[in-house]
Amino acid sequence: MRRLLVIPIVLILLLAGSVMLSGTASEKPAEFSFINRGDIFTLDLNQMSYMQDFRLTYGIREGLYGVEPTTLAPIPAGAIGYDVSEDKRIWTFHLRPESKWSNGDPGTAHDFVFSWRRMLEEPGEYTYLFHYLRNAEEYEKSYGNGEPIDVASVGVEAVDNLTLRVTLTNPVPYLLELAAFPPFYPRHERSMAEFRVFTDSNDQQTDVMDVFERFVEAAQKVDCSNGSSTDIADRFAAAAGLKGRQLDPGAVAAWLETAKGFNIKVKTQAELLGALGVFAKMDPLAGIAAEKASAPPAGSEGDDQTPPDALAAVAPSEKLRRMLAGKFIRYTYNKAYTVPPKVVTNGPYVLSKWDFKRRLLLLKSQYYWDRDNVRTNSIQMDVIDGAAGQLLAYETGQVQWVADVFPEQAAELKAKGRTDLHTSPAFGTAFLSVLCSPKLPASLGGGVNPCPDVRVRQALAMSIDKRFVVANPEVHLDARPVR
């Protein structure tokens, strides 16, 4: 009898497990559900360029200014106001004192400086908009080739925690509109530190940040409770993997005081630079040769968009000297910083769940400065592909809004006189990219590519009936997205 009971009991346990794993069986439905223009590509401010990414970002992040939903005019958000100089080139923004991040940390002007600097150090789709700032373009280019100009010369400065000064090369009358655009939003540097990936690192673990990390780890291990300063320095050198080298005991003592309990994964760039200054006094990179620079990719010669890295063939000790002199550390971020549970944001909602290709769940933020006027406690973005599936989800009440209806479907619904179908004017540009390399890639079968011939490209352009496109904007090219 006991054996007969085993099978049904196991089935019941498996069924219960599947319900728990689904994460939705016992979960209260969101108060508002919608289908976005498409699935999310990225929530990294540097890289985003698609409407659906921006639409969701408006819910979880906030800039100096926001957008009034009816007139689309910029309205105060993270800032409560500004002063502008007589020549219209210096804008001083006064930040909202009650603004907080979703982890409870206060919002500061330094968060904007960090985020705007990142847009220049790791250029994205909209980095060019930051070129209105004084010396921004120069900093972007110089940072890219490993010899950045002084970042303090760039026209964004935290005067104090609640005052942000923006200096422009020339007047920009639409600066408030830019301030309301997601690429200009702030980011929480300390929470992102866990996902930082250093550029000056290599497989041999001999570059600047490799050795720095090894020295931090060694400082946690070395016994400082007994022996002379020279003995402690020798024990530290052994723990750091230095063979046949004697380190200055005074420099080691200063390093141990700095590095004990030092957690790289929570430190800001300024804090890392401070530690690197102490690290440098031990001459930790002496004798390490420069890594052999790799050859540029084939076909990249003469590409002025990709300047050579001036630090690529520099010995690590010289690289460290330049990093300290220029007050910079080169790194990127693992995009995991944009997903829950670690993502920290400052908007009316927090990103609570992100089930890949299924849904994103937003919950009302308990720290948002204007939370009393956030009337919906939860919002869910459902990911549903295909016009039929999206319409069915709307018709059955699974979602309350389809943000962008497929053009062909919109025409049909409009013909039926649907009163819940809304259109609004929008501006957009569509273009086709043509591969003009002499040969087709192997993925396309190889062989001679006809497109380098300008006559072929002209024929492709002539094959598009532009009059038909212009005469039917709502159905073709979706020039007026149906919402």
The DSSP annotation for 305-357 comes to TS---TTTTS-HHHHHHHHHHHT---EEE-GGGGSTTT----SSEEEEEEETT
Q: Do residue 183 and residue 234 come from a single domain?
A: no
Domain extent, residue 81, equals 62-194
Domain count, the chain: 3
Rama region for 227: left / alpha / beta (φ>0; ψ in -120 to 50; rest): left
Backbone angles phi, psi at 34, to 5 degrees: -150, 165
Q: Do residue 88 and residue 128 come from a single domain?
A: yes
Q: What is the CATH number of the domain that holds 70?
A: 3.90.76.10
Return d(Cα 124, Cα 242) in angstroms, integer: 40
What pLDDT is stored for residue 77 in this prediction?
98
Return d(Cα 36, Cα 476) in angstroms, integer: 20
Q: How far is CA 206 from CA 44, 147, 202, 212, in A?
A: 30, 21, 7, 10
What pLDDT is stored for residue 475 in this prediction?
52
Q: Do residue 233 and residue 318 come from a single domain?
A: yes
3-class secondary structure, 54: helix
- Strands, E, within 22-88: which ranges? 32-35, 65-67, 74-76, 79-84
Closest CA to 92 of 112, 118, 119, 117: 112
Task: Give residue 423's identity as a one-letter amino acid code.
Answer: T
Q: How far is CA 183 from CA 71, 129, 173, 381, 427, in A?
A: 21, 9, 18, 22, 19
Closest CA to 91 of 179, 150, 153, 184: 179
Query: Does residue 438 sit within a domain?
Result: yes
Q: Do residue 162 and residue 275 come from a single domain?
A: no
Residues with Cβ < 8 Å from 87, sequence gap 6 or more? 171
pTM of the complete model beyond 0.85:
no
Alpha helix (H) residue ranges in 185-302: 189-192, 208-221, 229-239, 249-259, 269-280
Q: Do residue 157 and residue 209 come from a single domain?
A: no
Task: Give residue 264's identity as a one-letter amino acid code.
Answer: I
Q: Do residue 188 and residue 67 come from a single domain?
A: yes
Q: Do residue 68 and residue 126 come from a single domain?
A: yes
What pLDDT is stored for residue 83 in this prediction?
98
Q: Do residue 266 and residue 149 come from a single domain?
A: no
Name the token pair of 61: 């992040």
**Domain end point (choices 194, 228, 248):** 194
What pLDDT is stored for residue 293 in this prediction?
53
On whether the CB atoms of residues 276 and 198 are closer than 8 A, the answer is: no
Per-block mean pLDDT, blocks of 10 residues, the chain (483 long): 40 39 64 95 95 96 96 96 98 98 98 98 96 98 92 97 98 98 98 95 88 96 91 94 90 96 95 97 91 50 56 90 94 95 97 95 98 97 94 96 90 91 77 89 90 94 85 54 44
Task: Indicate the DSSP class of residue 35.
Answer: E
Q: Do residue 70 and residue 175 come from a single domain?
A: yes
Name the token pair of 194: 């866990």
Name the token pair of 11: 């089935």
The sign of the CA dihedral 402, 408, 409, 410 is positive
- Integer-rounded Cα Rg, in Å, for the chain is 28
Largest CA distance in the chain: 91
Name the token pair of 203: 């497989």
Return d(Cα 461, Cα 394) in angstroms, integer: 38
What pLDDT is stored for residue 402 in this prediction?
96
Q: Do residue 101 and residue 136 come from a single domain?
A: yes
Rama region for 100: left / alpha / beta (φ>0; ψ in -120 to 50; rest): beta
Q: Do residue 116 and residue 186 come from a single domain?
A: yes
Backbone angles phi, psi at 375, to 5 degrees: -85, -15
Return d(Cα 481, Cα 474) in angstroms, integer: 7
Q: Do residue 206 and residue 90 come from a single domain?
A: no
